Amino acid sequence: MTRYVEKDCASIIVKSKLPDTTYVVNPYTGCEFGCSYCYASFMGRFVGETIESWGEYVFVKRNAVEVFKRDLRKLSDETRQGSMLLSSVTDAWQPVERKYRLSSGIVAELVRARYPGVVSVLTKSPIVLDDLELLRQLPRADIGVTVTTTDDNIARVLEVRSPSARRRIHTLERLNAGGISTYAFVGPLLPHFSEQKSALHDLFKSLRDAGTREIYVELINKSRYIRERLDSAYLSGDRALIQSYIDADELKQRSRLARLVNELVEQYDFRLRLGKVLDHRQDPK
Ligand code: SF4
């Protein structure tokens, strides 16, 4: 069961260290989806929670829209051009969004302000479709949906509470049909694909069939704090899954995965964001 706690925030438009992103906006701290590989679990330390309890709490920044309006007004003409990401350490369209409508309110403000920079979204949730009409009105929307596998058995191990891959791919389909520019985030690129090229092929084909032309691919991050939750999730998987996870430390596997991605990018004529598969070992943040 997820605990919901309302609180006020002092500011919400935050300068970003992410590539290609000037600002990040996170209306919630915590995420109901609680994916086992989530790198945002470190956020617990800002709200008195542990890494282990990631997925069990959501702090709702109830004044997020009002503070966003104020922060937006404070940006100078020059800094108003920057790209803005909703969200970097939460899913802005997780189920609690249906109650509070904070992300929706923030997008409405961006529309009202005719924000000239790119507004990027990254979500796993079909709830983003509630705001399809608003998103269409943004001058430069860029909507990403994370899809890591089309295999529900794997999703049951790593993404227990997230919407199914089928629903996420359908979300991409709807966004594309609505004329919105989309990308798929394949992150983490799961290690077992190195031995199961056909499964990766199926994933890429589904994304392409949904009408998505751009992908962003990132190898699995096995930082120590992430492993606090991820190790036990993988241990509940089958032997092949566990072995692939162990091998993810090997350069051989990581290079093979990058090669497979490049082959499929070419086959399906995707544009690969950043021009490469992101590997945190080589690209520390
Ligand atoms: S949906 Fe995103 S933010 Fe939420 S737990 Fe999963 S990876 Fe983390």
3-275 is classed in which CATH architecture?
Alpha-Beta Barrel (3.20)
pLDDT above 70: percentage of residues in the chain: 99
CA distances from 208 to 92, 170, 183, 267, 270 (A): 25, 12, 10, 10, 8
The domain limits of the chain are 3-275
* 284 has a pLDDT exceeding 50: no
Cα of 21 from ligand 1 centre, angstroms: 18
pLDDT tens sequence across 209-229:
999 999 999 999 999 999 999
* 71 has a pLDDT exceeding 90: yes
Q: What is the pLDDT of residue 281?
A: 76
Task: Name the residue with the closest Cα to ligand 1, atom 8.
Answer: 38
pLDDT tens sequence across 36-64:
999 999 999 999 999 999 999 999 999 99
Confidence band, pLDDT 50/70/90 cuts, at residue 1: confident
Q: Which residues line ligand 1 (CB under 6 A)?
A: 31, 33-35, 38, 40, 90-91, 124, 162
Contacts (Cβ under 8 Å, ≥6 apart) of 36: 157, 158, 159, 160, 229, 230, 233, 234
Cα of 77 from ligand 1 centre, angstroms: 33
Give the mean model confidence (pLDDT) for residues 8-18: 96
Cα of 121 from ligand 1 centre, angstroms: 13
Give the mean model confidence (pLDDT) for residues 143-171: 95
Which among 162, 164, 171 is the best mutation to test ligand 1's pocket, defined by most ligand atoms within 8 Å of the CB? 162
DSSP bridge pairs for 57:
3
Contact yes or no for 63/71 (Cβ under 8 A) = no
* 285 has a pLDDT exceeding 80: no
Nearest one of 139, 128, 122, 23 to 71, comparing CA atoms: 23
DSSP bridge pairs for 7:
61
Structure tokens at 216: 């962003």
Structure tokens at 55: 């997925």
Cα of 146 from ligand 1 centre, angstroms: 9
Q: Rounded CA gap, 26 and 33, in Å?
A: 15
Structure tokens at 258: 């990058």
Which among 24, 33, 86 is the best mutation to test ligand 1's pocket, defined by most ligand atoms within 8 Å of the CB? 33
Q: Which residue has the higher pLDDT, 79 or 252?
A: 252
* 72 has a pLDDT exceeding 80: yes
* 163 has a pLDDT exceeding 80: yes
Q: Rounded CA gap, 127 and 223, in Å?
A: 30
Confidence band, pLDDT 50/70/90 cuts, at residue 282: low
* 238 has a pLDDT exceeding 50: yes
Buried/exposed 155-181: b ≥16 CB within 10 Å, e otherwise: bebbbeebbebeebbbbbbbbbeeebb
Tell me how far the alpha carbon of residue 78 is from its chain's centroid: 28
Sequence-ordered strand ranges (E) for the chain: 3-7, 13-15, 23-25, 28-29, 57-61, 84-86, 119-123, 141-146, 182-189, 214-219, 271-272
pLDDT tens sequence across 78-122:
888 999 999 999 999 999 999 999 999 999 999 999 999 999 999
Cα of 78 from ligand 1 centre, angstroms: 32
DSSP bridge pairs for 217:
186
Structure tokens at 176: 């594309």
**Beta carbons within 10 angstroms of residue 4's beta carbon:** 14
Q: Rounded CA gap, 192 and 237, in Å?
A: 11
Q: Rounded CA gap, 135 and 127, in Å?
A: 13
Average pLDDT along the chain: 95
